[in-house]
């Protein structure tokens, strides 16, 4: 009998029974791939037909100690993990090739090993000699980390069974090959099967397993998103190639808050922690220029000041350009529309470029007002004073909505020498930050305040 074919979307993990150019579930193009069925298994019987083992039930109120955590000593990493490494947890670290995942994880393995965890680093991409050379360059050659180069998952699991490490790094999940699955390494089925075996091992033996996953250009882990569902924690390592800043971002964490970020700087000697990222992101700032605005943001539990830069220029094209780096293009279109219809400031015939300095990606709606201010400043060729920060959400009516953690934003700005904040009128502040707050009811008022025209 011919086996039924299965097809899976590499973007959203949806299953389909035929190939098509576009995934019906998520609408992405060219993401459907054929997958060998995981296992046909013995004749399928209803699970209820045969008795299993009764499971032990416990009360919701059962007292259980919080999971013991081990800190690496790298504060930026520990915070993103939710306070340290939890035993028996599976962690996926995704990122572009070449962004620094192997560097970060070798440094992490060395730090955990020095804290007494038995650490293994298994690479399917680099020879042990190569890794040793990198360790030397990073000043980690003396750390008690065990190395291996292997892609055969069966051999890896056998080794892990006998070694019983506290921490194992698998670099990368795309190079792993499970010999019971009939498809090439890196395929959806292989990635899924390998991740499943390794996460199961983590739960069974109490080992913390870190899987490295390469991400394709459009931001998806090559192979299936299904790995994200299998693991406890998903971290993304982001950054622009041309910049030295790297952001480790928790997008999912069963053992801590998501949205937490750690900031690193890529140096000649590996990744260095950036304990005061606001100062670093603003250190490259030039003299106040039209189009430049400092946004007082919050990333996870931590305030972060970043600079938005806008450029507005007469367009030679019939369809003017809208180019955004580090922010959402749809949100930019919305703000341009609000500026036009609520404040009477059109951007027709003008090219608009928006950039977040330092290669940072901002997703907070609280940045709306900073973006609008940067656009206005660029369009009117009027610089915003260098001692001013801006934050607030803009609604379609042009009204300004207060955002969370106003006090933390103001405190951080105060610490870095800012004296004025342009913010929504209804913001809740404790008033202890020492900043002069310029409360604004709507966008038209902001336009009037900054440019002296309504």
Q: Which residues bind ligand TYD (CB under 6 A)?
A: 95, 97-103, 134, 137-138, 266, 268-270
User: Nearest Cα to 375, choosing from 320, 297, 312?
Assistant: 312
Nearer to ligand TYD, 95 or 165 (CB): 95
Q: Residue 82 binds what, of Mg ion, ligand TYD, none (CB under 5 to 8 Å, by partner type)?
A: none
Q: Residue 269 binds what, of ligand TYD, Mg ion, none (CB under 5 to 8 Å, by partner type)?
A: ligand TYD
Nearer to ligand TYD, 212 or 435 (CB): 212
Q: Residue 270 binds what, of Mg ion, ligand TYD, none (CB under 5 to 8 Å, by partner type)?
A: ligand TYD
Q: What share of the chain is helix, strand, coil (3-state, %, to 5)?
A: 30, 25, 45
Contact 412, 278 (CB under 8 A): yes
- The angle, 0 to 180 degrees and rounded to 10, between the axes of the packed helices 368-380 and 443-451 is 40
Q: Residue 157 binds what, of Mg ion, ligand TYD, none (CB under 5 to 8 Å, by partner type)?
A: none
Nearer to Mg ion, 191 or 362 (CB): 191
Q: Residue 321 binds what, of Mg ion, ligand TYD, none (CB under 5 to 8 Å, by partner type)?
A: none
Classify burial at 25, counting beta carbons within 10 Å of its beta carbon; exposed 0-12, middle 13-18, buried 19 or more: middle
Q: Tokens at residue 47, please?
A: 């699970």
Site map 102..121 versus Mg ion, x via CB under 5 A = x-------------------
Q: Residue 266 binds what, of ligand TYD, Mg ion, none (CB under 5 to 8 Å, by partner type)?
A: ligand TYD
Site map 56..95 versus Mg ion, x via CB under 5 A = ----------------------------------------
Q: Residue 213 binds what, of ligand TYD, Mg ion, none (CB under 5 to 8 Å, by partner type)?
A: none
- The whole-angstrom separation of Cα 356 and Cα 307 is 6
How many residues in total does the chain contain?
Answer: 454
Nearer to Mg ion, 102 or 190 (CB): 102
Q: Which residues contact 225 (CB under 8 A, 6 or more apart)?
A: 10, 11, 12, 13
Nearer to Mg ion, 92 or 336 (CB): 92
- The whole-angstrom separation of Cα 200 and Cα 268 is 37
The Cβ of residue 444 has, within 10 Å, a number of other Cβ atoms equal to 18
Q: Residue 10 binds what, of Mg ion, ligand TYD, none (CB under 5 to 8 Å, by partner type)?
A: none
Q: Tokens at residue 73, please?
A: 């000593």
Q: If you count DSSP H runs as helices and E runs as strands, how many of each does the chain have, helices first?
A: 11, 21
**Shortest reach from residue 197's CB to ligand TYD, in Å:** 22
φ, ψ (nearest 5 deg) of residue 20: -150, 160
- The whole-angstrom separation of Cα 168 and Cα 188 is 22
Nearer to ligand TYD, 139 or 404 (CB): 139
**Shortest reach from residue 347's CB to ligand TYD, in Å:** 38
Nearer to Mg ion, 102 or 427 (CB): 102
For strands 350-356 and 322-325, give the pairing: parallel
Nearer to Mg ion, 72 or 102 (CB): 102
Q: Which stretch binds Mg ion (CB under 5 A): 97-105, 152-160, 203-211, 329-337?
A: 97-105
Nearer to Mg ion, 212 or 352 (CB): 212
Q: Residue 98 binds what, of ligand TYD, Mg ion, none (CB under 5 to 8 Å, by partner type)?
A: ligand TYD
Nearer to Mg ion, 130 or 315 (CB): 130
**Shortest reach from residue 192's CB to Mg ion, in Å:** 21
Per the DSSP assignment, residues forming a β-bridge with 91 are 210, 233
The beta strand positions in 28-89, using DSSP E, are: 32-35
Contact 411, 303 (CB under 8 A): yes
**Shortest reach from residue 400's CB to ligand TYD, in Å:** 40
**Shortest reach from residue 102's CB to Mg ion, in Å:** 3
CB-nearest residue to Mg ion: 102
Q: Which stretch binds Mg ion (CB under 5 A): 2-10, 96-104, 383-391, 424-432?
A: 96-104
Nearer to Mg ion, 140 or 421 (CB): 140
The rounded radius of gyration (Å) of the Cα atoms in the chain is: 25
Q: Which stretch binds Mg ion (CB under 5 A): 101-109, 149-157, 227-235, 274-282?
A: 101-109
**Shortest reach from residue 132's CB to ligand TYD, in Å:** 12
User: Nearest Cα to 112, choosing from 80, 73, 159?
Assistant: 73
Helix (H) or strand (E) holding 205: helix 188-205
Q: How far is CA 214 from CA 35, 208, 224, 235, 247, in A?
A: 20, 20, 11, 12, 16
Q: Residue 294 binds what, of Mg ion, ligand TYD, none (CB under 5 to 8 Å, by partner type)?
A: none
Q: Residue 97 binds what, of Mg ion, ligand TYD, none (CB under 5 to 8 Å, by partner type)?
A: ligand TYD
What three-state secondary structure class fits 396? Answer: coil
Task: Give me the residues that bind Mg ion (CB under 5 A), please.
Answer: 102
């Amino acid at each position: 009998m011919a086996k039924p074919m299965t097809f899976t979307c590499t973007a959203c993990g949806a299953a389909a029974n035929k190939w098509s150019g576009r995934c019906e579930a998520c609408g992405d193009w060219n993401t459907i791939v054929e997958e060998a069925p995981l296992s046909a298994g013995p004749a399928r019987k209803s699970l209820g037909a045969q008795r299993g083992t009764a499971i032990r039930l416990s009360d919701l109120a059962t007292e259980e100690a919080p999971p013991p955590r081990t800190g690496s000593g790298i504060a930026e990493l520990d915070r993103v993990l939710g306070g340290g490494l939890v035993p028996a947890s599976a962690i996926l670290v995704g990122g572009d090739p070449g962004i620094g995942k192997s560097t970060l994880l070798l440094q992490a393995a060395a730090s955990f090993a020095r804290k007494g965890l038995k650490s293994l680093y298994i690479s399917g991409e680099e020879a042990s000699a190569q890794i040793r050379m990198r360790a030397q360059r990073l000043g980690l050659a003396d750390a008690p980390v065990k190395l291996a180069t292997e892609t055969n998952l069966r051999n890896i699991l056998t080794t892990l069974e006998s070694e019983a490490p506290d921490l194992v790094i698998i670099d990368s999940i795309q190079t792993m090959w499970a010999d019971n699955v009939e498809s090439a390494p890196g395929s959806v089925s292989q990635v899924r099967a390998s991740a499943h075996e390794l996460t199961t091992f983590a739960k069974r033996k109490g080992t913390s397993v870190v899987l490295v996953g390469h991400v394709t250009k459009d931001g998806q882990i090559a192979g299936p998103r299904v790995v994200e569902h299998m693991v406890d924690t998903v971290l993304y390592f982001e950054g622009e190639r041309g910049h030295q800043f790297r952001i480790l971002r928790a997008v999912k964490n069963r053992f801590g808050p998501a949205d937490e970020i750690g900031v690193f700087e890529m140096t000649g000697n590996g990744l260095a922690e950036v304990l005061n990222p606001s100062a670093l992101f603003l250190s490259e700032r030039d003299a106040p220029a039209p189009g430049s605005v400092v946004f007082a943001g919050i990333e996870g539990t931590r305030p972060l000041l970043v600079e938005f830069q806008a450029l507005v220029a007469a367009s030679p094209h019939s369809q003017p350009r809208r180019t955004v780096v580090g922010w959402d293009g749809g949100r930019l279109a919305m703000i341009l529309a609000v500026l036009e219809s609520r404040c009477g400031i059109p951007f027709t015939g003008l090219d608009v470029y928006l950039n977040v300095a330092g290669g940072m990606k901002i997703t907070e709606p609280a940045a709306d007002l900073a973006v609008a201010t940067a656009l206005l400043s660029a369009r009117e060729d009027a610089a915003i004073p260098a001692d001013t920060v801006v934050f607030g959400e803009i609604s379609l009516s042009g009204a300004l909505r207060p955002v969370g953690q106003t006090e933390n934003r103001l405190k951080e700005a105060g610490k870095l020498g800012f004296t004025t904040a342009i913010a929504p009128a209804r913001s809740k502040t404790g008033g202890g930050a020492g900043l002069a707050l310029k409360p604004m009811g709507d966008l038209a008022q902001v336009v009037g305040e900054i440019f002296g025209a309504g």
